[in-house]
Structure formats: structure tokens, C-alpha cells
Copies of this chain bind each other. A is one copy, B any other.
């Protein structure tokens, strides 16, 4: 896809996450041609991925086709494809199967799991970043209970009924809390040999406390709430090995057939193709305007961007990504209008608060101005915020119906094991 000289400037956006979508929308009145490219045909509402992984929601409830979201914005073209590199002098993005020319570029491909150099752990401990990840985790969790029901050896059965979540950030806390809820409540009465309520759910955190981005008091509350749900929390637990049958922590060994990874992130591979500098996690250091140091027509946004503000990094959360995408769009609109010498404003992240849910009616929240919530009130805040921001009215209504139903009955309607959807290379033995 090349450009004709008489055309409007073309802005290419890589990644249709929160940042990329906000950038595309921010350019709706700008005299530019927008091309947004993503490997998936859908935008995923990542904060609810753990609900898909734990069978509370179906995949379509937290995802919408990108081209449906942007269908009314006539200056946008949506492409399904994968960016693999750049020809910066030629102003082209190289795709797995072609190329796209650009005048301005917004890169927002986000982050993926990092196993800290231990890539051999990946098959045994899948992470949770995409819908495919979520469906894989769902499959493993449900299958573990099925295997336990048919297992005749008591020791083996225990390992099928042991679940380890590695990483005590929001995703790890959400996964562990929900797994405990499934074992204690959802599966009641359904098995004849095993007692699902006897399942062990462990949450391992290498650092000194859970939810390290939250205030101390909320970390402690999250710990209490998890404990009440029946989760065994271990802090200061540095994992040194993972295999098909369990986890090694120094000289200690915990046997478990299901291990989930929520411990580390790194920039998506595409970041390496951009001129540096990069931070330790491979994220791209950007100017305060979000421009690339080496090329001011390139903006990096969302989790992929590494930027300090007031002495702390801008956090890798949805709100920051949205604000960055909108900022990059405004900056490019100004460059188009006023020429490449236009002075661009610095990006400022406006904190809207953070929320992490732990389980049924348990959550922690911190808002600007020092407001802290925990327990039921935080849980309702979490529910409201997440349903409100779900993209698409239909999803909101159907999701509320499902949540109300799950709430009343403890049931999780999406408990399907789809075999052909499995990643055979990752299947535990």
C-alpha cells in the first residue's frame, strides 16, 4: 500500500488497544488519512480478560471487531495484519505480508509476558494478555478438575487440584481470587469423586507484598480478603523453576498441574525495530511529547512507551494508554496544520485511580486525592467502572445480565473446554 502525492498525509497506527483506538478517534476531524493495523480483528477490553479465563464471561462479551467500532469514521481504514519492522528512510512499515507507507506513525503494540529469560517456563505457565491466552487458561483450569475426577492415584489427584498463580499484581490477585471462588462455590455438587472445594489455590509473589503499586494498607487488605477466600498467599517467594508438574522455589517444591503466569511483562518484539533508547523491559523511551527521540514523526503510546513524570513512570494502565493515544492524535493534527516546526505540548498523565478486584464483593481501589476503598464498596466501584467502559452498548447490557446471574447463583456460564482451540505445544503432559 503506497501513497499518491496528492493524498492527505497518512497516519499509520499500529495496535488497536486503548491507545491505538484513542489515537484513531482523536484524528476523526483531522485532514489526514488514518490506517490502523492490528494482528487481531478485535479490540480486547483487557481489564476483564481474567473473567474470560475463569469462564465468567464469553470472549465476545469483552471484545468488538475493530472495524465495527470505527465504522462511522470515514477517514479510517482498518487492516488485519502484523507489523514486523520498519523502513524509516523509506517511510514504510513492513508487514508479515506486505508494507504500508506512512507520513506519521503511532506505535501502540503494548507489552507481552516476560519469563525473565526462562522461556522454557512458558509452556507450563501461560500468561494472560490476549483472548487466545484467556481461552487457553480456561481450558487448562476446567480440564484439571476433569482429570482429577478420573484420576485414581490420590497423590496425582492432589496435583490436578493444585493451582499456582505466579505474580501478585492485579492480574495475579484477580486470577487467584476467582479460582478459589470457582472451587469453593461454582463447582459445588457437580463432581462425584473429588471435592472441588478441597482444591489448593496458591498465589506466589516474589516481592515483599501484593499489589506493590497500591498503598501498603490496601496490600494488607487484599491479602486478608484472599485468605478469606481460601487462597494461600506467599510473598517473598522467588520462583526458580517451573515444569509440567509444579514449581520450584529455591529448595522448596510445590506440585501443581496448573500454573499461571502473571509476574512479568516486556515490550512486544516490534519495539526492538524502533531506534532506541529502550528501558530494561524493552519499552521505548520517548520525549515528553511522546515522540521518538530519533524521529519526531513517530509517536510511541500506551504500555510500549517508557516515560517518567514527577519522578515516577507513567503506569501501564488503560487510562494512561487512552490519554497517550489522544495526545499523539492532537500532536499530529497540529503538525499537519502548522508544519513540522510546530511546538508540541508535553504529555501529562491524569491519574483517575486504580481498581483491582479480588473475588466476589472484594476489591481494593485508590483514587486521586488519597481516597482508598476496599471490600464491598470497592467491588461495586470496580463493577460500575468496568461495565461503563466496556465498548458497545450491547456488550454492556448482556454483560450486566450475566454478572447479575453469576452474582445470584455463583454460576459461570462460559465453562466450555474447546479441544481444537488448544495449543498442543503447551499442553501439560
Q: Which of B71, B143, B190, B405 has a CB less than 8 Å from the CB of A67?
A: B190
> How many Å lie between the Cα of A380 and that of B310 in the bound state?
62
Interface residues on A, range: 35 or more
**What are 26 of the A-B contact pairs (CB < 8 Å)?**
A39-B419, A40-B417, A41-B142, A41-B416, A41-B417, A58-B61, A59-B416, A60-B414, A60-B415, A63-B416, A64-B413, A67-B190, A68-B190, A71-B190, A80-B417, A81-B150, A131-B416, A132-B419, A132-B421, A135-B418, A135-B421, A394-B405, A397-B401, A398-B398, A398-B413, A401-B401
Please determine whether B394 and A40 come into contact, CB atoms closer than 8 angstroms.
no
Known: A40-B417, A58-B60, A67-B191; 20 extra A-B contacts, CB below 8 A, are A39-B419, A41-B142, A41-B415, A42-B415, A58-B58, A58-B61, A59-B418, A60-B416, A65-B416, A67-B190, A71-B189, A78-B192, A79-B149, A80-B417, A81-B150, A131-B418, A132-B418, A135-B420, A394-B413, A421-B421
- Given that A58-B59, A416-B60 are contacting pairs, would A402 and B411 also be in contact in the complex, using a CB cutoff of 8 Å? no
Q: Which residues of B contact A142 (CB under 8 A)?
A: 41
> How many Å lie between the Cα of A135 and that of B417 in the bound state?
13
A residues 133-159 touching B (CB-CB < 8 Å):
135-136, 142-143, 146, 149-150
Q: Which residues of B contact A42 (CB under 8 A)?
A: 415-417
- Given that A40-B417, A416-B41 are contacting pairs, would A150 and B189 also be in contact in the complex, using a CB cutoff of 8 Å? no
Q: Which residues of B contact A40 (CB under 8 A)?
A: 416-417, 419
Complex A-B, nearest 6 residue pairs according to Cβ-Cβ distance, in ascending order:
A60-B414, A421-B421, A132-B420, A58-B58, A80-B146, A67-B190
> How many Å lie between the Cα of A68 and that of B414 in the bound state?
12
Please determine whether A423 and B420 come into contact, CB atoms closer than 8 angstroms.
yes
> At the interface, yes or no: A352 with Cβ under 8 Å from chain B?
no
Q: Which residues of B contact A413 (CB under 8 A)?
A: 60, 64, 392, 394-395, 398
> At the interface, yes or no: A278 with Cβ under 8 Å from chain B?
no
Q: Which residues of B contact A420 (CB under 8 A)?
A: 132, 135-136, 421, 423
> At the interface, yes or no: A77 with Cβ under 8 Å from chain B?
yes
Q: Which residues of B contact A136 (CB under 8 A)?
A: 420
Please determine whether A411 and B394 come into contact, CB atoms closer than 8 angstroms.
yes
Please determine whether B416 and A80 come into contact, CB atoms closer than 8 angstroms.
no
Q: Is the interface of A mostly helix, strand, loop or mixed?
A: mixed
> At the interface, yes or no: A241 with Cβ under 8 Å from chain B?
no
> How many Å lie between the Cα of A423 and that of B422 in the bound state?
10
Q: Which residues of B contact A428 (CB under 8 A)?
A: none
Q: Which residues of B contact A71 (CB under 8 A)?
A: 189-190
> At the interface, yes or no: A215 with Cβ under 8 Å from chain B?
no
> How many Å lie between the Cα of A401 and that of B161 in the bound state?
36
Smallest beta-carbon distance A117→chain B, Å: 24
Q: Which of B61, B80, B150, B405 has a CB less than 8 Å from the CB of A150?
A: B80
> At the interface, yes or no: A236 with Cβ under 8 Å from chain B?
no
Smallest beta-carbon distance A414→chain B, Å: 4
Q: Which residues of B contact A80 (CB under 8 A)?
A: 143, 146, 149-150, 417
When C-beta atoms are compared, the residue in chain B nearest to A60 turns out to be B414
> At the interface, yes or no: A72 with Cβ under 8 Å from chain B?
yes
Smallest beta-carbon distance A291→chain B, Å: 28
Q: Which residues of B contact A81 (CB under 8 A)?
A: 150
Q: Which residues of B contact A77 (CB under 8 A)?
A: 192-193
Please determine whether A398 and B401 come into contact, CB atoms closer than 8 angstroms.
yes
Q: Which of A78, A409, A423 has the most CB of B within 10 A?
A: A78
Q: Which residues of B contact A98 (CB under 8 A)?
A: 150
A residues 383-429 touching B (CB-CB < 8 Å):
392, 394-395, 397-398, 401-402, 405, 409, 411, 413-421, 423
> How many Å lie between the Cα of A81 and that of B147 in the bound state?
10
Smallest beta-carbon distance A125→chain B, Å: 17
Q: Which of A58, A60, A72, A81 has the most CB of B within 10 A?
A: A60
Smallest beta-carbon distance A225→chain B, Å: 27
Q: Which residues of B contact A419 (CB under 8 A)?
A: 39-40, 132
